Amino acid sequence: MKKLLEIEELMVSVPSGNGDAYAVAGISFSVAEGSKVAIVGESGSGKSLTGFSVMKLLKSPVKKVSGKILLNEVDLDLISDEDFRKYRGGQIAMIYQDPMSSLNPITRIGKQIVESILIHEQLNKSDAKTRAIELLKNVGITDTERVYNSFPFEMSGGMLQRAIIAMSLSGNPRLLIADEATTALDVTTQARVLALLDSLATERNMAIILITHDLGVAAQFADEVIVMYAGKVVEQGSVARIFSNPIHPYTRGLLNSRCDQTVDTKKPIKSISGQPPNPGRLENKCAFANRCDRAIQICLEAQPLLEVSEHGRVACFRSIEFMNDSLEKP
């Protein structure tokens, strides 16, 4: 499939007591047209900052230091902020974690969707309203007139997230970034929203990047999984391979620490020892080495490269050795 989004050696710095630190430290990956990619990892791994970088929504003192972000082979850095307003929402859209904070609480939902439509389409207000109601129907809202005239605080979390999705579709984007879009929802509503996103991706041939810390959500939704740790991609592969045969010790640790119906309640819940590192200056060692119970001397002396194989990509000095290990049951 044709590449829609290409990220090359992206580095994002954040302020620290010792000068700039790198919260995203030279990541590279691509997203094909119509594909569904999940980016997973603990809090602070750089997932959301990657999404904000694509949307050009980083706010000072956080800044993109280097690297390229190309959408359909167009370098986004070469687009002025004014022109990018049409890209943002038109070519790329984003759904945020908390739907309530994504909308103006004192403006009716319909008006906010109409405002978004008018930015991207040459319509009068009457036609824009018709289009807004059509979008609300497209995301499974049946009582469209009521929702259109409601304020955000009058809506449930699930209905509000559907309205946010409708707004994000107003410019017919080719890429949708969903940043923890189901975190604040109950399990049933979460499943419905994921099913909605899945159907929209198919109908519109729209690529979706799902940013999540929930491995269950990633398994349910994505075709491909990117695992991030300490601002770097440590493993990437098909969802089937990642969940059946994870290679990187961090990926294995995440999967072994899941709490689901397969957990043996007679045994302690497994966890990854230690804490994720604070963003800092790049060190010449594996960032996961201090938490890894399978680290060897070279892990403390050099950074593993993200190597490509038939199984995907993995950054681990012992990847060949771990490739055929069976996953320990949680």
Predicted confidence at residue 329, as pLDDT, reads 41
pLDDT tens, residue by residue, 156-165: 888 888 898 8
Predicted confidence at residue 131, as pLDDT, reads 92
| Dihedral over Cα of 107, 112, 114, 120: its sign | positive
Torsion of CA 48, 52, 57, 59, to 10 degrees: 50
Predicted confidence at residue 330, as pLDDT, reads 37
Angle at 120 between CA 119 and CA 123, to 5 degrees: 85
pLDDT means over runs of 10, the chain (330 residues): 94 82 93 96 92 93 94 93 85 84 90 90 91 91 93 89 89 91 78 87 92 89 95 95 93 84 70 82 85 93 90 91 63
Predicted confidence at residue 120, as pLDDT, reads 82
Query: Distance (Å, rounded) from C-alpha 275 to C-alpha 300?
Result: 17
Query: Distance (Å, rounded) from C-alpha 86 to C-alpha 89?
Result: 6
One-letter-per-residue 3-state SS of 121-182:
CCCCHHHHHHHHHHHHHHCCCCCHHHHHCCCHHHCCHHHHHHHHHHHHCCCCCCEEEEECCC
Query: Distance (Å, rounded) from C-alpha 218 to C-alpha 223?
Result: 9
Give all domains of the chain, ordered by start, each with its CATH number.
Answer: 1-60+217-330 (3.40.50.300)
DSSP 54: H
pLDDT tens, residue by residue, 262-295: 666 677 777 888 888 877 666 789 999 999 989 9
**Cα-to-chain-centroid distance, residue 325:** 28
Query: Distance (Å, rounded) from C-alpha 46 to C-alpha 50?
Result: 6
Predicted confidence at residue 282, as pLDDT, reads 67
